[in-house]
Structure 1
Amino acid sequence: MSRLVVSTAVLLFAAGSALAGMEPKHYVARRLTADHHLQVEASEVEDRGGVCRVEGTVIRRFGGTAEALTSGTAVAFSVPCAADGFWPVSRLKAARLVEVFLRSVPGGFEAADDGQGMMALEAVTETPAVRDDPVLVREMAETIAAYSIESQARRGNSKGALALARVSDPLLRARLLAHAAGILATRTMADADAAGAEAIEAFVALPDGEERLDTGLAALESLALGGAKAAALRLADLLAPEVDGLTVPTRRDTALLSLYGARVRSDDPVAALAALAKVGNPKTRRERLEDMPFAQKDFGAANPASAVWMDRLLSAAEAQTDAAFRSEALTALCRTAYRAAAGLVEIPELATKAVPMAELAARRHHAPAAVLMAVLMEVTGGPAGRAEAARWYAVAGTGFDTAATARSEALKILSSFTPAERAAAARLLGGAGAATPVKLLELAKK
Structure 2
Amino acid sequence: MKFSDKISMAFKDLMNRKVRSILTVLAVSIGSLLLIVMMGLSDGIINKLKEVIDGAGDTNIIQVYPINDAKVKEDNGISIQVSDVDSQEEKESKEVEDASFKKISKDDIESIKNIDGVDRISAYVQGNITDIMLDDKKFSGNIVLTGYDFNNDIDISDKLLCGTILKEESEDIIISEDLVSKLGISNNEDVLNKKIKVQAEFPEMNGIKIKEPKVIEGTVVGVANKNNISNTVIMSEKKADCLFAYFTDKENYIDENGYSMLSVYGKEGQEISALAAKITSDYGYTTFSLDMINKTFDALGGVVKAVLSIAGIIVLVVASLGLVNTVSMTLQEKRKMIGVMRSVGGSRKNIKSIFTYQSFIIGLFGGILGSITSAIGIFIANEYITKSSNFAITLTTNNIMLSLFITVIMSIIAGAIPARKAAKINVVEAVAEE
The verdict on a shared fold, with TM-score over 0.5 as the criterion, is no
RCO comparison, higher one (Cα < 8 Å, 6+): 2
Q: 1 or 2, which has the higher strand percentage?
A: 2
Specify the structure having the higher radius of gyration (Cα).
2
TM-score, normalised to structure 1, is 0.20
TM-score, normalised to structure 2, is 0.21
